Structure 1
Amino acid sequence: MNKSKTIDIRSLTLEQLKGKLVEMGEQGFRAKQIYEWLWVKSCTNFDEMSNLSLALRDKLKENFAINAVQVRQSQVSNDKTIKSSFTLFDGNIIEGVLIPAPERMTACVSSQVGCSLTCKFCATGYMDRKRNLNADEIYDQVVLIAEQAQKNYEQPLTNIVYMGMGEPLLNYSNMMRSIDRITSADGLNMAAKRITVSTAGIAKMIKKLGDDDVRFNLALSLHAANDEKRNEIMPINEQNSLKSLSEALKYYYAKTKNPVTFEYIVFHNFNDELEDAKELARFCKHVPCKVNIIEYNPIALADFVNAEADKIDQFAAYLRTQGIITNVRRSRGKDIDAACGQLAIKEKGVESIS
């Protein structure tokens, strides 16, 4: 079968699929049955759609493709984190991570093949952005990681973070549609509040989140609360200054009433002084928020070093004196390059467990 002549069936809305079926001489109500197979049962093979006739299944195979994501390889960290590389229908490869914890099972998913933002401390930022992921490719990562959680830890997936490869807000429509399929009753039916989308800071798209009145959580990768320092490590800040971000966040909060999470890596001798903490505390006054201080995970392409533990503790303590909810997050999966900022398709010494 020449897939270039077929349509990715999961790219269609229910109404579009209904229209295609009618064009093929089939009854429109079949669309709902097919949608249930695709999005509720996560079926990736037309032959398994057992309540459809063989003739209809053959027609579906002739006219449509299911561009399913495949687990390529998986690695298990000493802390039980599982990192997987996934092969896409066109041969591109992305990575996703299962982060197990006593109270939760979290899937960290990618939204792009590579990234265009060139953040200096992030391995993905040194890769080229090849393309955006389709909504079904994001959805498939969730399904496959959920299967790993069940198989390896006998626990259901509880949370999803869009913190893998790529910038979700630069793939806005596919990101939003994937969340719709994950949260809908005719999808995976997960609660939107269990989903967090992390952005490096695209002001106009943060405002669009407000206009769309989203129910999921928003996290901003801040890492510096003055423009000079942030420009140095996150070039995106040159077009999205802290002032424009603060205005966008205020707009977003006014529309959604959702508090925001600020993610902050404390780098040694860069943003780890009391003055840096004071600047961050001032930025936190713009909207109701909390701060997650994240441990830095070294990469070969950059010279950044994590701040000393006592510096991090002092930094967090100051924020708490200002009434800011502050959590210090320890890295997970660092030994297999699965931690925050380390995803870059490394596959040596892999233990396949998928």
Structure 2
Amino acid sequence: MIATKQDIRKLNTEQLKTWLGRHGEPGFRAKQIQEWLWKHSVRSFDDMTNLSLKTRQLLAEHFEIRTLSVSRQQQSSDGTIKSSFRLYDGNLVEGVLIPALRQADDDRMTACISSQVGCSLTCKFCATGYMDRKRNLEAFEMVDQVVSIDRQARETYGTGLTNIVYMGMGEPLLNYANMLESVEHITSPDGLGMAARRITVSTAGIARMIKKLGDDQVKFNLALSLHAANDVKRNQIMPINESNSLPALAEALNYFYKKTGTRVTFEYIVFYNFNDTLQDARELWQFTKKVPAKVNIIEYNPIAEASFKNTDPQTLDRFAGFLEERGVVVNVRRSRGKDIDAACGQLAGKENNPS
């Protein structure tokens, strides 16, 4: 489907005010319209009930509100829900609702959202990395994923989202402006009103853009997909490391920390017989001494395109214990939604890419 009108959400309040003025409408209408779009998440001009019929018809004549739809929804045995979202142009992205486990002592309800259709970074262990990058998502398409997943959470579990992670398909820092704009709408009192500290943006590691996050003094959390703490191994599984080496990333992350005061999270998937030895743990510990950070150790979720395997539980525990004994804050993240290909690294828009 080819769009013929501009999505009205591409205009900020001042641009909308100017447009309204040119069409004989009072400027204060701009704030009313923006509230309907971002705070109340309406997807039809007809629902903007405090606008006159004439004004609504004028908007509909010149603009559209491009909606995403749930093309497919799957629920895991652990309660995780994966959604394939169909975009206005027919492309698919995936998002995931991750509820807290019953035995957990928190009440987290997390949305994992995508930032691009596909990805250009070709990480060897990630299903999305085997797709082509088709395009960046617009800010409103990221916000719409959050709105849709929040609705799922309320309908299924009776409570809304508490956390958002930009860890789905794509590299958020390669869609920098749109990602930042989406965070602004999610956190603004005139938008969804969520706290920035409840948002985490994950990156494969693009040093110059990490520094830009620092310059922009962002309030959200930053996670680095590390997975190996020496350049030789990281080059093998993450080609981006060849142009963004660990020393370059350490410098950028320290710059980010000095600018924002926010400690980084290192994400580390422990692959069997690749990066799971005590020497690997030692290298990771040494890297944490270069950058104020905590470590999330993540179980690997197998994909058809790669031969990596998850390490065994004893090795994983020994790896985590080595770090903890040296004062590193470590969380072991168990896989969620693996049975529906909704776990970390498994998102691939399979309706478009059957395997």
Q: Which residue of 2 aligns with 1:260?
A: 264
Question: 1:199 and 1:50 mapped to 2: Cα distance?
Answer: 41
2:86 aligns to what?
87
Pairwise CA distance, 1:286: 1.7
Distance 2:290 2:188 in 1: 32
Q: CA deviation at 1:287?
A: 2.1
Match of 2:184 in 1: 180
2:306 to 278, 302, 305: 302
In structure 2, the partner of 1:62 is 61
The residue aligned with 1:18 is 17
Q: Is the 8 A contact 2:84 2:349 kept in 1?
A: yes
Q: Distance in 2 between matches of 1:174 and 1:285?
A: 33
Q: CA–CA distance in 2 between the matches of 1:106 and 1:126?
A: 26
Match of 1:336 in 2: 340
Q: 2 CA distance for matches of 1:304 and 1:105?
A: 29
Q: Is the 8 A contact 2:92 2:117 kept in 1?
A: yes
Asked if the contact 2:3/2:89 (under 8 Å) is kept, the reply is no
Q: Are 1:280 and 2:284 an aligned pair?
A: yes
TM-score calculated relative to the size of structure 1: 0.97
1:217 maps to 2:217: no
1:282-306 per-position Cα deviation (integer Å, ceiling 9, x unaligned) = 1101222110000000000000000
Q: Secondary structure at the match of 2:332?
A: strand
Whole-Å separation in 2 of the counterparts to 1:48 and 1:113: 30
User: Which secondary structure state, in structure 2, belongs to the residue aligned with residue 291 of structure 1?
Assistant: strand
**Aligned-residue offset at 1:117:** 0.3
d(CA) in 1 for partners of 2:166 and 2:137?
12
| Residue aligned with 2:49, SS | coil
Instruction: Pick the aligned partner of 1:237 from 226, 235, 241.
Output: 241
Distance 1:36 1:298, change over 3 A: same
Task: State the SS of the aligned residue for 2:327.
Answer: coil
Q: State the match for 2:43 in structure 1.
A: 44
Return the offset for 1:134.
0.2
CA distance in 2, matches of 1:180, 1:119: 29
Residue in 1 that maps onto 2:133: 129
- Whether the 8 Å CA contact 2:270–2:311 is kept in 1: the answer is yes
- Give the TM-score of the pair, scaled to structure 2: 0.96
- SS state of the match for residue 156, structure 2? helix
- The CA deviation at 1:3 is 3.7
- For the residue of structure 1 that corresponds to 2:345, the secondary structure is coil
Structure 1 2/133 Cα, relative in aligned 2: closer, same or farther at 3 Å? closer
Which amino acid letter does the alignment assign opposite residue 167 of structure 1?
Answer: E
Distance 2:188 2:153 in 1: 21
Q: Percent identical across equivalent pairs? A: 68
Q: How many residues align?
A: 347
Shift of 1:248: 0.1
Aligned to 2:114: 110
SS in 2 for 1:47: helix
Further displaced range: 333-342 or 278-287 = 278-287
Q: Where does structure 1 lack aligned partners over 5 or more consecutive residues?
A: 349-354
Deviations 1:77-96 (A, max 9, x none): 00010000001111111000
Report the alpha carbon displacement of residue 347 of structure 1 after superposing the two structures with TM. Answer: 4.7
In structure 1, C-alpha distance between the alignment counterparts of 2:2 and 2:87, rounded to whole Å: 17
2:2 and 2:89 in contact (8 A); partners too: no
Q: Are 1:78 and 2:82 matched, yes or no? A: no
Q: Show CA shifts across 1:97-135 (max 9, x none).
A: 000005110000000000000000000000000000000
Q: Which runs of 4 or more aligned residues in structure 1 lie more than 6 Å from their structure 2 counterparts after TM superposition?
A: none
Could you tell which deviates more after superposition, 34-43 or 63-72? 63-72
